C-alpha cells in the first residue's frame, strides 16, 4: 500500500521545523508510482536540530545489496517501498535505520483502492481514491514517517539515500477505503514529526510514533477515475453511483 504518491510545492513555499524556516524548491508531481523506483523529497535531519529537504531513492535498499542485479532479485523476494510499524524494530532489514536514520517523507496526497462488490457483479471491483489531509489549500503539504539508508547507485557510482514509508493500522476512514489490508501511511502532525527526527529517540517512542494513526476527521477522501494513472489530473473527483459513501 501507499505506493502512489503526489506532491505540490508552490513557488516560494516554506517549511518550518524546530523553529527553523526554509524555502522549498518548487515541485509538482501529481502522481508518482513507487514502482518507478525514482527519487522523492524527504526531510533529512542533521545535528543541532538542523534539517534539509533532499531527493532520495524511493525504495529501501538493503545494505548488503552489492549489485544492480542483486537489487532486481531482491524486488522479486520482498517489497521495500513501505515498512510495517509493528515489526519495524524486529526487522533485520529495517531495525538499524529505524534506530538511527529516521526521516519525513513529504506528500500532498496519496492514492489507494477500495474493494466493493455491486449488486449483480460476479466479484468485487476496485475503486481508486485520492486521500489527503484537511487543509485550507488545494494541495497541502504533510509528513509521512520514513526511514532511510545510504546506498550506491550501481549505474553511476553516486552515493545517495534510499527510503521506505512507514505504514500503520488503518484508522476508521482508511479501514473503509483500504478495506482488504486495512493499512495506511503513518502521517504525523508537526509535533510528532519533530520528535520522529530526534536523534536519541527511545525504542518505545519509535514504535509508538511509527504506529500513530492520523485522525479520520482530519483526512479527506474522494473517488477518482479508474484510469487516473494516465489522466491529466489524477486526483480529479469522479463519482460511482453504485458505491456506498464512506461513513465519517
State the CATH number of the domain containing residue 184. 3.90.1680.10
* Within-domain flag for 174: yes
114: cell is 477500495
* Within-domain flag for 78: yes
* Within-domain flag for 106: yes
What does the alpha-carbon distance between residue 116 and residue 106 come to, in Å, rounded to a whole number?
Answer: 30
Range of the domain at 201: 4-113+136-221
* Within-domain flag for 97: yes
* Within-domain flag for 76: yes
Domain count, the chain: 1
Could you tell me where the DSSP H helices lie in 68-157?
Answer: 68-77, 95-100
What does the alpha-carbon distance between residue 42 and residue 20 come to, in Å, rounded to a whole number?
Answer: 16
* Within-domain flag for 228: no
The reply to whether the predicted model has a pTM over 0.75 is yes
* Other C-beta atoms lying within 10 Å of the C-beta of residue 156: 8
Tens of each residue's pLDDT in the chain, 248 residues: 689 999 999 988 999 999 999 999 999 999 999 999 999 999 999 999 999 999 999 999 999 998 989 999 989 888 899 999 999 999 999 999 999 999 999 999 999 999 999 999 999 999 999 999 998 666 689 999 999 999 988 888 889 999 999 999 999 999 999 999 999 999 999 999 999 999 999 999 999 999 999 999 999 999 999 999 999 999 999 999 999 999 98
Amino acid at each position: 500500500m501507499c505506493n502512489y504518491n503526489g506532491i505540490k510545492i508552490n513557488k516560494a513555499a516554506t517549511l518550518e521545523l524546530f523553529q527553523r524556516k526554509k524555502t522549498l524548491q518548487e515541485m509538482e508531481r501529481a502522481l508518482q508510482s513507487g514502482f518507478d523506483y525514482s527519487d522523492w523529497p524527504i526531510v533529512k535531519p542533521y545535528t543541532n536540530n538542523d534539517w534539509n529537504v533532499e531527493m532520495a531513492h524511493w525504495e529501501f535498499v538493503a545494505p548488503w545489496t552489492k549489485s544492480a542485479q542483486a537489487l532486481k532479485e531482491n524486488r522479486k523476494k520482498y517489497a521495500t517501498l513501505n515498512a510495517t510499524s509493528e515489526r519495524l524494530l524486529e526487522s533485520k532489514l529495517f531495525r538499524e535505520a529505524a534506530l538511527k536514520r529516521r526521516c519525513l517523507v513529504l506528500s500532498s496526497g496519496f492514492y489507494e483502492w477500495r474493494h466493493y462488490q455491486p449488486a449483480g457483479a460476479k466479484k468485487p471491483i476496485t475503486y481508486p481514491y485520492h486521500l489527503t489531509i484537511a487543509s485550507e489549500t488545494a494541495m497541502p503539504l504533510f509528513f509521512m514517517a520514513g526511514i532511510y539508508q545510504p546506498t550506491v547507485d550501481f549505474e553511476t557510482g553516486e552515493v545517495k539515500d534510499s527510503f521506505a514509508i512507514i505504514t500503520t493500522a488503518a484508522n476508521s476512514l482508511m479501514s473503509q477505503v483500504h478495506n482488504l489490508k486495512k493499512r495506511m501511511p503513518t502521517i504525523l502532525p508537526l509535533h510528532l514529526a519533530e520528535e520522529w527526527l530526534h536523534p536519541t529517540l527511545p525504542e518505545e517512542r519509535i514504535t509508538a510514533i511509527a504506529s500513530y494513526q492520523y485522525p479520520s476527521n482530519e483526512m479527506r477522501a474522494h473517488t477518482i477515475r479508474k484510469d487516473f494513472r494516465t489522466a491529466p489530473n489524477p486526483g480529479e473527483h469522479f463519482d460511482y453511483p453504485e458505491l456506498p459513501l464512506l461513513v465519517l
